[in-house]
Structure 1
Amino acid sequence: MMGTFQSALKFQNIGFWQTTDSTGNEKVVRVAFILLDHFSLTALSTAMDALATGNLINSNTVYKVSTYSLLGGLVESDIGIPLSSQRLNVETINHDAVVVVGGQRVRLSSHPTVRRALKKTAGGKGIVAGVWNAAFYLADAGLLDDQDCACHTDSCALMNEYFPQVKTVEAEHTFAHRRATCAGASSALDMVLAIMQNLSTRRDADLVDEIRRVHQPKRLQVNDVPPGPTVLARPIPRPLNVAVSLMENHIEEPLEIDEIASHVGVSRRQLERRFARYLNAAPNRYYLELRLTRARQLIMQSNRSLTDVALATGFVSYPHFYKRFKDLFGLPPMAFRDNYCSSDFGGSERYAIAAGF
């Protein structure tokens, strides 16, 4: 039995490990988005996609999303694309988080229904949040008094004039005391991830870095550390970075470890020590986990046969691939594909149902 991931790659795969028996003990988190006329569609899609990713990677938390507006029906976004919504009714607001979505073209004005909905959520220990210039509505409800607030620069003057007790700060997003704000569409992801980390189960908190990696991919550089919450004391040395690049470029026909060591100009023993020190695994083990990570991506994102996937990731026999994949992910390849690709909506019926589609 090989067990689950050992190397730094576990942070890319931690959310995909499964067991064949379902516990049925997911925590359901209800998130409401209040859409203002001409709301930022980019900000909303970024926020909702982070929640969708949280559902797709098999976390213990299921995010159920609802959209509301002042009048209900279709709400026009900033680029003219309308979205459907329910009419905002304070009696039906019983959510773990309520997010007001503003935008560059949103006209700010006090609204009693929004104010009551936010106060009700905050009073029930829920999280309230404002995207772009929608911090105005949190301030109008008295929920940002003497607190830092991230707001789009075009709206800071208005905020300071109407709500001098609120501290507008030069930050992309803020999150404290169950109040969250962000300055624009580009910072909506970080704000929503902070909300997810606060509301999800302890295990799911480890998945936040993976969701960020999905939306903000960054390749390993010479002075970088592996993705994940652990910050290493020293930068990754160049020979190790080159060795990892060689492995990434030779997935289908894996190289021998001695050959990799020769390419980077170090002995096999030196290479093994560096892999163990910086990536928490021997070179052979890291290489295997890298290939199985690629196999997982191919299974989820393509229609290639599982035999083709096995060959494309360097396994000469399907039974060997089957065993190794099941050891690391808890399910055989076919069952894994069935679980993640059971619908036309991004491979997950689970999110489609949760979002009310």
Structure 2
Amino acid sequence: MLQLTKPCRQKTPLLRIGFWLTEAFDLYALANALEPLRQANQMAGRSICEWQILSLEGQNLNASNGIATATSRLDQAQPLDVLILCCGENLRARADHQSLLQQLCRWAVQPIGLGAMGNAGWLLAQIGALDGYRCSLPEPDPLAQPGRFNDLTPVAAPFCVDRQRLTCVGPQAVQGLMHELLAQTHGRGLVLRMKQHAARQARPLLPMHNAHPKLQAALALMNDHLTNMLGIDELAESMGISRRHLERLFKRNLGCSPSRHYLDLRLQQARQLLQAGKHPMSDVASQCGFISLQHFFRCYRHYFGAHPRDERAPSPHPRFLTA
């Protein structure tokens, strides 16, 4: 488990991460790392993660696809809990290779987590920062000296967090690495809610002409009664079927219970009303069948990962890149 320093735990509940970039860094890997942090902030309803984009000189860097990204100087970074290196290919051929290794050696002895994405993990191995730690690394550099990394303990997994070291095999494994880091610092319940939310948002719409007639009728009744809600037993009775049969129809075709889908419809309607900006929040909650604002806020945040007021007001621009 990642062990944050005692002062960090006492001073702030934030998880503070620095992403150390080099020229031609992998933008896909960086995006896969940032998105879970943004989602975690939204799901929590407050900033529980902060991140900084860093480089040795603090200049604009071009990703491997040519997109320019602004960075801050690494030696001027705000306090960090974790520093993660994100590089490009051909690390050994870089002109600043030795300077990079020297800086890594300095950071390896700091009381923070130190990680690397993909091939950058071999730089940690080269300075001995992974000795005695379990790690996940991609295929080794064919030019590496045989036996040089005998002290490594590789694991057959796409990512690994072992105490103060974080590694992953490539850009697609980065998201799993960040989920594990969030789980160890903020609890696995948060990550589970994030995954459930993503699964619901990614669920495709059911073509209505292919749906069971009873299901189509139930969905139509739900849409007509978003304010004055019908009970699930009332819905089933209106269809002339048992509640059990109705639940099976929803589970088989929509992957959820009737009450879950009913709530989804009401929340989606609420979002449309909020974005239109024509109704007070209390009216939106009432029109969508919520008996109290507190219940509405809780359900909305759990479903969309944001507070209802965020649909109307732009987000602030804090010192760190947060969401």
Pairwise same-fold verdict (TM > 0.5)? yes
Q: Which residue of 2 aligns with 1:42?
A: 28
Distance 2:298 2:287 in 1: 14
DSSP-derived class of the 1:153 partner: coil
2:49 to 56, 63, 68: 63
Greater radius of gyration (CA)? 2
* TM-fit CA distance, 1:133: 0.9
Q: Residues 275-303 of structure 1, C-alpha deviation per residue, up to 9 Å, x if partnerless?
A: 9xxxxx985x434423334345546xx83
* TM-fit CA distance, 1:185: 1.2
User: Map of 1:146-295 to 2, 5 A cutoff?
Assistant: 146-153=132-139, 155=141, 158=144, 162-200=148-186, 202=187, 205-213=188-196, 219=203, 252-253=223-224, 257=232, 261=236, 267-269=242-244, 283=258, 285-295=259-269
Distance 1:242 1:257 in 2: 17
Q: Which residue of 2 aligns with 1:136?
A: 122
Q: Which residue of 1 aligns with 2:288?
A: 321
**Which amino acid letter does the alignment assign opposite residue 263 of structure 2?**
E
**Which amino acid letter does the alignment assign opposite residue 116 of structure 1?**
R
* TM-fit CA distance, 1:143: 2.7
Contact 1:30 1:65 (8 Å CA) reproduced: yes
Distance 2:102 2:114 in 1: 16
Distance 1:159 1:246 in 2: 69
Distance 1:72 1:191 in 2: 26
DSSP-derived class of the 2:109 partner: helix
Task: Label 1:253 to 1:356 Cα distance change in 2 as closer, same or farther (>3 A).
Answer: closer
Q: Which residue of 2 aligns with 1:78?
A: 64
**Structure 2 unaligned spans of 5+:** 1-10, 205-211, 251-255, 301-305
Contact 1:76 1:82 (8 Å CA) reproduced: yes
Q: Which residue of 1 aligns with 2:113?
A: 127
**Structure 1 unaligned spans of 5+:** 1-24, 221-240, 276-280
Contact 1:144 1:179 (8 Å CA) reproduced: yes
Q: Which residue of 2 aligns with 1:30?
A: 16
Distance 1:171 1:249 in 2: 47
* TM-fit CA distance, 1:267: 2.1
Superposed CA RMSD in Å reads: 4.6
Aligned residues: 287
Q: Residues 209-253 of structure 1, C-alpha deviation per residue, up to 9 Å, x if partnerless?
A: 233456666549xxxxxxxxxxxxxxxxxxxx9999987787533
Distance 1:156 1:215 in 2: 39
Please state if 1:112 is matched with 2:131.
no
1:342 to 310, 313, 321: 313
Q: Residues 188-207 of structure 1, C-alpha deviation per residue, up to 9 Å, x if partnerless?
A: 1110111122223x4xx422
Contact 1:39 1:78 (8 Å CA) reproduced: yes
Please state if 1:304 is matched with 2:309.
no
* TM-fit CA distance, 1:35: 0.3
Distance 1:41 1:184 in 2: 12
Q: Which residue of 2 aligns with 1:98?
A: 83
Q: Which residue of 2 aligns with 1:354?
A: 320
Contact 1:77 1:83 (8 Å CA) reproduced: yes
* TM-fit CA distance, 1:178: 3.0
* TM-fit CA distance, 1:261: 4.8
Q: Which residue of 1 aligns with 2:209?
A: none
* TM-fit CA distance, 1:260: 6.4
Determine what percentage of the aligned residue pairs are the same residue.
Answer: 20
DSSP-derived class of the 1:354 partner: coil
Task: Label 1:325 to 1:349 Cα distance change in 2 as closer, same or farther (>3 A).
Answer: farther
**Which amino acid letter does the alignment assign opposite residue 151 of structure 2?**
Q
Distance 1:86 1:71 in 2: 8
Task: Label 1:38 to 1:106 Cα distance change in 2 as closer, same or farther (>3 A).
Answer: farther
Distance 2:291 2:37 in 1: 30
Distance 1:328 1:138 in 2: 48
DSSP-derived class of the 1:189 partner: helix
DSSP-derived class of the 2:44 partner: coil
**Which amino acid letter does the alignment assign opposite residue 260 of structure 2?**
Y
